Chains A and B, each alone.
Chain A
Amino acid sequence: MSDITPDVVVDARGAACPGPLMELVGEFRQGDSGTVYELQTTDSSSSHDVPEWVEDTGNELLDIDEHEDEGYWSIFVEKV
């Protein structure tokens, strides 16, 4: 379990790919460098693909938590 405290929580649970990424990027556009985001997603493909986007865009992937009992992932990203 991550002990990261995000500045912004993006609850995209229920949305299919690429919805979670789109919701994260929508919040990213409004945030400053250094802002930490938690993206919550139930979409398995997004749990793999969002980290690819983070790496490709030069932002920082801080952690990924899988909440198995609740059926979702938390992806922690810092805007660089």
Chain B
Amino acid sequence: MTNGYAIVLASGRLENIFAVSNIASVAATSEIPVDVFATMDGLEAFDSETVDSMDFEMGPVAEAMLTSEDADVSLPSETLAQAKTLGPLEMYACELSMDMLGKDLDDYEDVFDGVLGVSGFLKRARDKQVVFV
């Protein structure tokens, strides 16, 4: 039995964000602890203006997911917010990335538990399997 996953989400590509949100969310529903550290472009994908305008870097799979007429595909931020009510999933925003852009948590979708630097994240990741995306 794993002690959980510590996922570093550094990619802003929508396919990668879908993959992280789905895996993190399903793990959490199985009572597997997951910490997601959104940094660099991975954090900016949760910027509320980016989400509102759907201005993501994406390829054909993500385009197909967003335009599917046969299936209702939830956005990553929606899936993660739901998963946080169902299991041990915590989301952290990278302080460095935010500082560089002069932003605070209010600029992002309401999925984050707090702001962390690298040391804070590594402390939480110590007993978990680290996954870098």
How many of chain A's residues touch chain B, expressed as a range? 10 to 19
Q: Shortest Cβ distance from B99 into chain A, in angstroms?
A: 33
A18 contact set on B, CB distance < 8 A: 22, 25-26, 29, 79
Q: Shortest Cβ distance from B14 into chain A, in angstroms?
A: 14
Q: What 1/0 mask marks residues of chain A from 7 to 51 whose CB sits below 8 Å from any chain B CB?
A: 000000011111101100110010000000000001100000000
Answer whether residue A5 sits at the interface, using C-beta atoms and an 8 A cutoff: no
Which of A15, A22, A42, A43 has a CB less than 8 Å from the CB of B29?
A22
Answer whether residue B73 sits at the interface, using C-beta atoms and an 8 A cutoff: yes
Answer whether residue B50 sits at the interface, using C-beta atoms and an 8 A cutoff: no
Q: Shortest Cβ distance from B111 into chain A, in angstroms?
A: 14
Q: What 1/0 mask marks residues of chain A from 39 to 80 whose CB sits below 8 Å from any chain B CB?
A: 000110000000001001100000000000000000000000
A25 contact set on B, CB distance < 8 A: 29, 86-87
B82 contact set on A, CB distance < 8 A: 22, 26
- Cβ contact within 8 Å between B79 and A22: yes
- Cβ contact within 8 Å between A53 and B73: no
C-alpha spacing A14/B74, complex, angstroms: 11
Q: Shortest Cβ distance from B86 into chain A, in angstroms?
A: 5
A57 contact set on B, CB distance < 8 A: 30-31
- Cβ contact within 8 Å between A56 and B30: yes
In the A-B complex, the 3 residue pairs with the smallest Cβ-Cβ separation, listed nearest first, are: A16-B71, A25-B29, A16-B73
Given contacts A22-B29, A26-B86, A57-B30, 15 further A-B contacts (CB under 8 A): A14-B72, A15-B72, A15-B74, A16-B72, A16-B73, A17-B22, A18-B26, A19-B73, A19-B74, A22-B25, A22-B79, A22-B86, A29-B86, A43-B71, A56-B30
